[in-house]
Amino acid sequence: MTFFFQNLINALQWGSFYALIALGYSMVYGILMLFNFAHGDIFMVGAYIGFGVATGVTALASFGAIVLPKWLILVLTIIISMFLTSFVGMLVERLGYRPLREAPRASAAITGLMIGIILETGNLALLGAQRVRFPTLIKSETYNISGVFVTNKKIMIVVVSLMLMLALHQFVRRTKWGMAMRAMAFDFVVVPLMGVPINTIAAMTFAIGSALAAAAGILFGVAYPVLDPYMGIVFGWKAFVAAILGGRGSILGATLAGFLLGFLEIFVAMIFPSTLRDLIAYSIILLILTFRPHGFFGEPYSARLRL
């Protein structure tokens, strides 16, 4: 039983990363009907920006001889990096996708893949091929709760992720921008007639998705402090699977599917040899999608008026 709970904790942490990234895929798909295939690389960019900000804040504090507690540096890093990465997302939307709004969806998909490659190789050109080490911002402490080992990092990662997801949910439900996003999932014709600037809302969606990916990147850096320019690829694809599994455009679906993916991977690795982990985990997902191709909360068909 302790074995089970131990893995449950690990799965929650692992699922948090997937869920946070999947939300970005799903939100963008929800309103623009395109999958932003550069999103995994935005997660990578977010992690690197986090690395830069954390290093910068630490240096600045020591330069000004201010003693900042490490947790405060982490909080600042998360907030500043989310803010900065949201601009990367908006830039991608503005330069990459907006000119293609009326183009076939395949063109937008290819653009996404190319933007991804540009981000990866751009990073490579900028920082070189060696991996960077994410600064240690919180000292790892392990608690033994009746046989289950829980680290403070894991708790922090899961709690911060859940808080962000809750904040997103509230944003979509309670603000006028969130209301506009939900309406834009259905049409681009009537929504502007209501006085909604749809381009602003589209940019905002990219910004929020990218900010969440940045948060995932930093939390990942806290847990596994080695960053490399290609770290976003596998994560991006797996989170994409989560977005599909949750139902395209569904926020709740993306969250649940992200966690489910985390659970599957961890528990499959618990039972089978870890080399078979992805093979078995993703075969299960393939099976689910065979019976439920539109995912948990997606609509079986999607049609929208575009003029």
Partner 1 sequence: MALLRVEKMSHEFGGLRAVNNYSLEIEKGQIRGLIGPNGAGKTTIFNLITGIYKPTEGEIYLEGKKITGLPPNQIASHGLGRTFQNMQLWRHMSVLEHVKMARYSRITYGLFGAFFGTAKRQREEEEIEEMAYSLLKMVGIAHLAGQIILNLPYGAQRRVEIARALATEPKVLFLDEPTAGMNPEELIQMMEIVRKVHKNLGLAIFLIEHRLKVVMELCEIIQTLNFGQVIAEGTPEEIQNDPKVIDAYLGKGTVI
**Candidate residues 70, 169, 182, 294; the one interacting with partner 1 per rule CB under 8 A:** 182
- Cβ neighbour number for residue 43 with a 10 Å cutoff: 29
Q: SS3 of 69, please?
A: coil
**Candidate residues 64, 104, 195, 300; the one interacting with partner 1 per rule CB under 8 A:** 195
**What's the rounded Cα separation, in Å, for the pair 221 and 236?**
16
Q: Which residues contact 140 (CB under 8 A, 6 or more apart)?
A: 151, 152, 153
Chain CA centroid to CA 13, Å: 13
Does position 175 interact with partner 1 (CB under 8 A)? The reply is yes
CB of 43 to partner 1, least distance (A): 24
- Cβ neighbour number for residue 30 with a 10 Å cutoff: 23
Strand pairing report for 148-151 and 142-145: antiparallel
Does position 274 interact with partner 1 (CB under 8 A)? The reply is no
**Candidate residues 2, 142, 170, 274; the one interacting with partner 1 per rule CB under 8 A:** 170
Does position 194 interact with partner 1 (CB under 8 A)? The reply is yes
Kindly provide the residue ranges of all beta strands, DSSP E only, lying in the chain, ordered along the sequence. 132-133, 142-145, 148-151, 226-227
Does position 180 interact with partner 1 (CB under 8 A)? The reply is yes
Count how many Cα atoms sit within 13 Å of the Cα of residue 31 in the half-sphere of its side chain: 31
The answer to whether 223 touches 13, Cβ cutoff 8 Å, is yes
CB of 145 to partner 1, least distance (A): 33
Query: How many residues contact partner 1, by CB under 8 A?
Result: 24
Does position 190 interact with partner 1 (CB under 8 A)? The reply is yes
**Candidate residues 105, 131, 174, 306; the one interacting with partner 1 per rule CB under 8 A:** 174
Does position 301 interact with partner 1 (CB under 8 A)? The reply is no
Does position 200 interact with partner 1 (CB under 8 A)? The reply is no
- Among the candidate windows 2-10, 38-46, 53-61, 168-176, which touches partner 1 by CB under 8 A? 168-176
Does position 185 interact with partner 1 (CB under 8 A)? The reply is yes
Q: Which is nearer to partner 1, 252 or 270 (CB)?
A: 252
Q: SS3 of 305, please?
A: strand
Residues at the site binding partner 1, with contacts judged by CB under 8 A: 167, 170-171, 174-176, 179-180, 182-183, 185-187, 189-197, 305, 307
